[in-house]
Amino acid sequence: MPQRLSTYLKKTYGEKVYRLSLSSGCSCPNRDNGTGGCTFCSEGGSGEFAIDADNPDICDSIERAKEIIRKKTDARKFIAYFQSYTNTYGDVNRLKELYKKAISQDEIVALSLGTRPDCVGPEVMEMLKELNSIKPVWVELGLQTINEETALRVNRGYSLPVFDDAYKRLKEAGIIVIVHVILGLPGESKADMFETVQYLSDLTPPLDGIKLQNLQILKGTRMYEEYLENPADFKIMSMEEYTDLVAECIALLPKETVVHRMTGDGPRKLLVDPLWSLDKKRVINMLAKKVQIE
Ligand code: SF4
């Protein structure tokens, strides 16, 4: 059966590993191209928790992020985690220097970069290979769905073959790949969502990691406008429905796939629907009862 991220990290690093949410200062081509980006994407670029977004000194940001975690824990190992926006979009030399600095400390055990499959060209691949020879590199790809109609509707801005090609090249380069999927996108049936998860389960080589999350309507997004105009278009699941669905999706995954996330993580102040996802503890407890996972 698939395993949770916490289990994987403990097995791999012998203890609990904490993520430091950092900012690379990158933007996103899907927002810069004038089409407004993915319709569900909030101002923070789908990751509002990065520390010191404007601080040019990455070592300083890392220290501050560590301090925050150490107030509550005795953390000793960390992942340098760049989630917001597209962290391979920009000047490759600048990014290489930034990420090298980030992973130079002994306490940083891995580098995690959120990006898009259309932003891993040859130069970026060379950078990733070089970084991966220093510390393991995880690349997180925001696929969300394999359904091309939905992808167009949410303005994802690339087609499935672009994902397939990026996946193949990243795996050939020895990079750990994690794919994001949103469950409950407008117009999608349960069968559509299973189709996406099954597609990912059938990838060769097997998918390293998956992040599942429920669709969250966030203030300030284009999707929020659509939701206000046409609420009937959005079939927002109840907590029971969602947790049942996650259990079924995880049952489709191969044992090699690590589950990094099972629920939405949108910022409290922006979340409009479903409000049950604010009660993370309850969602996690319900998932724990239903999901077969190590
Ligand atoms: S690719 Fe990511 S950052 Fe860019 S618009 Fe989509 S969700 Fe936002």
**pLDDT tens by residue, 226-262:** 999 999 989 999 999 999 999 999 999 999 999 999 9
pLDDT range class, residue 52, cuts 50, 70, 90: low
Q: Under DSSP, is residue 139 helix (H, G, I), strand (E, B) or coil?
A: strand
φ and ψ at residue 210, rounded to 5 degrees? -140, 145
- Give pLDDT tens digits for 160-204: 999 999 999 999 999 999 999 999 999 999 999 999 999 999 999
First to last CA, the chain: 7
- Exposure letters 219-241 (e unless 16+ CB within 10 A, then b): eebbbbebbeeeeeebebbebeb
Q: How far apart are CA 35 and CA 40, in angstroms?
A: 13
Minimum CA distance residue for ligand 1 atom 3: 85
Whether 90 lines ligand 1, by a CB cut-off of 6 Å, is: no
Crossing angle, helix 280-290 and helix 239-252, to 10 degrees?
Answer: 50
CB count in 10 Å sphere of residue 43: 14
pLDDT attached to residue 45: 66
Apex CA 86: angle with CA 214 and CA 161, to 5°? 75
Rounded to 10 degrees, the C-alpha dihedral 112/218/257/155 comes to -90
Q: What is the CA radius of gyration of the chain?
A: 18
For ligand 1, mutation pick of 26, 83, 86 (most atoms within 8 Å of CB):
86
State which ligand 1 atom lies nearest to the alpha carbon of 29: 4
Atom of ligand 1 nearest to the CA of 86: 3
